[in-house]
Structure 1
Amino acid sequence: MTGRDGGAELSRDPAAPVVILVRPQLAENVGSAARAMANGGLFDLRLVAPRDGWPQDRAWRSASGADRILENVRVFGTVAEATADLHRVLATCPRPRHIIKPVMTARGAAAEMRVCAAGGLRCGVLFGPERAGLDNDDMAAADALVRYPLNPEFMSLNLAQAVMIVAYEWWMAADDTPASRLMTNETEIATKGELDNFLSHLTRELDESGFLRNAQKRPGMVRNIRHLFQRGQVTEQELRTLHGMITELARGRHMRRPASAGPVVAPREG
C-alpha cells in the first residue's frame, strides 16, 4: 500500500513515543520531521495549532516516502489536548528559562521512554516552533526537559534535526547492532585451519625460495609472519587470492631457473 506520493507502508509500534510539533510554521519542516521519525521507528505525529493549517501538500514533498505518518497526523488546538491520553511528556528545551524540572539528554530520555513503554505507559515529546521553541506554558505541561549536549558555541538545530536526534536515540536504545563488524559480503571469515593451511603453503615456498635460509633467524621470522596474518579477520576469498599469488610467484621462479640449476644454496660466510 502506498501513500499520496507513492511512499511505502510503514509498520507502527504502539509502544513508541508520540512526536508533538507545537505551532509548526512551515509544512516542509513537518514533512522533514516525519522523514526523521520514520528513520527511528516513530510513527505517531501530532500537530498543535499549525500556523498554516493542515494538511499541506508541501509536507509530502519533503517527507521522502514517510507518507503514512503524514496521512495519520492528528491536529489539536492546545498542548493539553494533544497530551491528554499520554502518561509521560518530555519537552525539548534549547535553553532553560528559570524552570525547575528534571533535565536529561536525548539518550537519557530514550532510555526512560523505553522503560515506560515496557510498563505499558505512553510517552510523548514536545518540539517547539522553528523560530523560538517552546514557551513556558508549553513546558509546564512536561514532566521533564530534554537538552542536547552540543557545541555550546553553536547549538542551532532545525526542527527535523531535533526530531532526528530523539528518533535515533529511541531506536538505538533497543538496537543490538555491533559497534564494529567486518563486512564480508559473499565470503566468510577464514577458520584457523584454513589460515594455518595458507601459512604452511607460504612458509614452504619461502623456504624453497631461500627467504628463510638463515636457520638461526628462521623460527622468529616464521612467527612474525604468522602474527601478521593472525592479527586480523582474514576471509576465505582473501586466502584464495593469497594462495594464488604464492603459486604464481613460485611458478615464475621455477620457469626462470635454468634446468641444470640445483636448489638455492646460501653463500658461505667468510
Structure 2
Amino acid sequence: MTDLIRNPVFVLVRPQMGENIGAAARAMLNFSLTSLRLVDPRDGWPNPKAVAMASGAAAQVLDHAGVFPETARAVEDCDFVFATTARGRELTKPIYTPEAAMAEAHARIRAGQRVAVLFGPERTGLENDDIARANAIITVPVNREFFSLNLAQAVLLTAYEFSRGVHGAPAVDPGLAGADVASAIEVEKLGDHYEEKLDAAGFFFPEDKAPSMKRNLRNMWSRFGLTRADVQTLHGMLRQITRRRD
C-alpha cells in the first residue's frame, strides 16, 4: 500500500509564495505526511525559496511533490476530496470541522480510498470552480471577524487532526513526563505505613469513627495517581517526622 493510500494528499492550489509552500511542507512532515501536490504555482517550480523554507528534512516532501496545471487534473485519481474554505457555502456540500473531516478521511482510507484536501492560494482562497470539484468542505471554527488562516497554518491544523487519528495520543498523559506510576502494592504499603504511624499518634479518634477515617485515607492515596517517586518521598517524609518526634 503506497503513501498516497495510507495518508491524505494535500493539494496546494495556485500557491503564490515559495516560502509558504516550504512552510506547508514542514507542517506536513511534522505529522509524517509526505503526499504533496501543487496546482499552477505562481512562481513556477522548482522554487529555491520553498526549499530554503522547508529546512532540511522537509525538502523530501518538495522533492516528490506532483505539479499539475489545474485542480481537476490534481485530484482526478482521488475518491474523496475536501476543500478547505471559509467561503463557498452557496455550493451545497457537507461542511466538516477539521477534526470531523480527518476522522472521515481515516474511515475512507481504511476502506482503500484515496483522499485529498485542497488548500487555496494565500490572498483569495479557493475559487468556486475549485470547490465544485470537492465532495465536502472543511471550515475551521475561528473568529468570524478575523477568519483568515495563512496557508501553513491551515495545513498544520489539518495535518495535526489527521495525526491524532494515527497515533491516538491521549488528551492527558498521566505519565507525568515519563515518571513510573506506582503499583497498587506500593500504594497499599504506603497506606499501611501512614495508618500505623497515625494510629500510634492517636489520629484515629474517636474510636467509632476510626474505620471510616482509615477508609477515607486509603481512598485518598488511590485517588492521587502517585508515581513511585511520590511514594518514596512520602515514606521518607513520614520517617523523618516520626524520627524527630521520637
Instruction: Write the distance in 1 (CA, Å) between the matches of 2:41 and 2:28.
Output: 18
Aligned twin of 2:42? 51
252 and 158 in structure 1: CA distance in 2 versus 1, 3 angstrom threshold:
same
Deviation per residue, 1:194-216 (Å, 9 max, x gap): 22222221122223334446435
The correspondence for 2:240, drawn from 226, 245, 248, is 248
Q: How far apart are 1:130 and its partner, in Å?
A: 0.3
201 and 41 in structure 1: CA distance in 2 versus 1, 3 angstrom threshold:
same
Aligned twin of 2:130? 138
Letter in 1 for 2:75: T
Q: Secondary structure at the match of 2:163?
A: helix
Asked whether the equivalents of residues 9 and 116 of structure 2 are also in contact (C-alpha less than 8 Å), the reply is yes
Q: Secondary structure at the match of 2:137?
A: strand
Aligned twin of 2:185? 193
The correspondence for 1:78, drawn from 47, 70, 74, is 70
Q: Secondary structure at the match of 2:37?
A: strand
Q: In the alignment, does 2:90 pair up with 1:98?
A: yes
Aligned twin of 2:28? 37
Letter in 1 for 2:147: M
The correspondence for 1:114, drawn from 88, 106, 114, is 106
Q: How far apart are 1:106 and its partner, in Å?
A: 2.0
Q: How far apart are 1:185 and its partner, in Å?
A: 5.4
TM-score normalised over the length of structure 1: 0.81
Instruction: Write the distance in 1 (CA, Å) between the matches of 2:224 and 2:93.
Output: 49
Query: Which structure 2 segments of 5+ residues have no match?
Result: none
Instruction: Write the distance in 2 (CA, Å) between the matches of 1:186 and 1:154.
Output: 39
Stretches of 4+ moved more than 4 A in 1?
184-187
Letter in 2 for 1:182: P
Percentage of pairs with the same residue: 43
The correspondence for 1:19, drawn from 2, 10, 15, is 10
The correspondence for 2:156, drawn from 164, 181, 188, is 164
The correspondence for 2:172, drawn from 173, 176, 180, is 180
110 and 242 in structure 1: CA distance in 2 versus 1, 3 angstrom threshold:
same
Asked whether the equivalents of residues 13 and 42 of structure 1 are also in contact (C-alpha less than 8 Å), the reply is no
C-alpha root-mean-square deviation of aligned residues, in Å? Answer: 2.3
The correspondence for 1:124, drawn from 88, 113, 116, is 116
Q: Which has the larger radius of gyration?
A: 1
- Structure with the larger helix share: 2
Asked whether the equivalents of residues 45 and 74 of structure 1 are also in contact (C-alpha less than 8 Å), the reply is yes
TM-score normalised over the length of structure 2: 0.88
Letter in 2 for 1:252: R
Instruction: Write the distance in 1 (CA, Å) between the matches of 2:140 and 2:178.
Output: 40
More displaced 10-residue stretch of structure 1: 226-235 or 43-52: 226-235
More displaced 10-residue stretch of structure 1: 205-214 or 14-23: 205-214
Q: Secondary structure at the match of 1:21?
A: strand
Q: Secondary structure at the match of 2:188?
A: helix
Query: Which structure 1 segments of 5+ residues have no match?
Result: 1-10, 255-270
The correspondence for 1:234, drawn from 218, 223, 226, is 226
Number of residue pairs aligned between Structure 1 and Structure 2: 244
Instruction: Write the distance in 1 (CA, Å) between the matches of 2:178 and 2:161.
Output: 31
The correspondence for 2:53, drawn from 50, 54, 62, is 62
Asked whether the equivalents of residues 92 and 126 of structure 1 are also in contact (C-alpha less than 8 Å), the reply is yes
More displaced 10-residue stretch of structure 1: 241-250 or 95-104: 95-104
Letter in 2 for 1:246: L
